[in-house]
Structure 1
Amino acid sequence: MAKLYFRYGAMNSGKSTALLQAAFNYEERGQHVLLAKPEIDTKGADQISSRLGVERQVDFLIAPDADLRALVVEHAARYDGRVACLLIDEAQFLTPAQVDDLLRIVVDDGIPALAYGIRTDFQTRAFPGSARLLELAHSLEELKTICRCGRKALFNARLVGGRFVFDGDQVAIDELSHEKVTYESMCAECYLRESGGRLS
């Protein structure tokens, strides 16, 4: 039976690397996969790129108002509908309705879906797509990384121009901003220290 998997972790936990490895494993066995990501993630344009230097073009980008199931049907036609797996990077940027589509793709169309993303934003609030994935996924798997102090990282702190910020829009991708936006994966202790005890 096909399943919906949500593989999540703080930034720099190897999510894109794991996704690209999964695609390689399927294709090494002669099976077809579809790779996609939400178009709001402009970093890398239409590429999924790993910090290890591996990258690959997606089969399609997902617009915020897109019918995800229709996109999968359209792109699966290239393989006569024989798609072994749908792999989605930056799944936190999906809408809840698109996550509902993912479950229908899995259950009704029999295509396993592996969604990779982060749970929470820089203010420790769940992204709507991640929240819905946590509610619907058959399987949840945490990919781990470490904080600067060596503890397990849970949160993604935002820096603008090298300074921590705790206010702003939920989504800020460095290529979309006039100031350099970066993120640091942090444990709860280090996050609370930098935020002065603030969690949102």
Structure 2
Amino acid sequence: MTNNQIDYTPLFETLERKGKKLIDILNQGIISSRTNAKFRKNEAVSLDVLVRICNYLDCDIEDIVRINRKTSKKTGFIPYKANEGRPRDKEGFTIDTHGRFYLNRALQERLGCVGKPIKLHIGYDPETKKIGLAKYGEIQLDASPLSFGANRSYASARGFLNRFGIRVDKLIKYTFTGVDNGWMVFERVDDEE
């Protein structure tokens, strides 16, 4: 079976209907980060994985996967609808190989800074390897915040990365996990290889 025949759109629709996200399944230990990537690329996963997800979501297999047998006779292409298979982003940010922190749209909305500049303090917990962000002025610190401009959703933080020995050989993604003493706490969700 070719990858273009596997379609996990029903999974993302079921997750949205049940108020969950793919990251919830990952965080519950039901799937690995590698399997998470396979779902996003419509790649084959084992039947065992599909059964575990069905049990977790209390649904049938057709609620998480479908097989597209019909393709255009002329080209073999399967039509794609905008945003198909793309769940809404959870608040988070990514760090690129140049040491830039990119706030995703969901995080910008939570912070109220879509199209506006914002200053954020950044902190690191070496024990848990979690990163904290706090709006400038909301917590009292003797530290300079990062400045995110109105026309960009990123700020350079190479000094921060160097200070804590955080290597960035590839794009790293962090998602929001909660608030602790005024800090928004973010946990790394990609493989730390």
TM-score by length of 1: 0.28
Query: Which of the two has greater helix per residue?
Result: 1
TM-score by length of 2: 0.29
Larger radius of gyration: 2
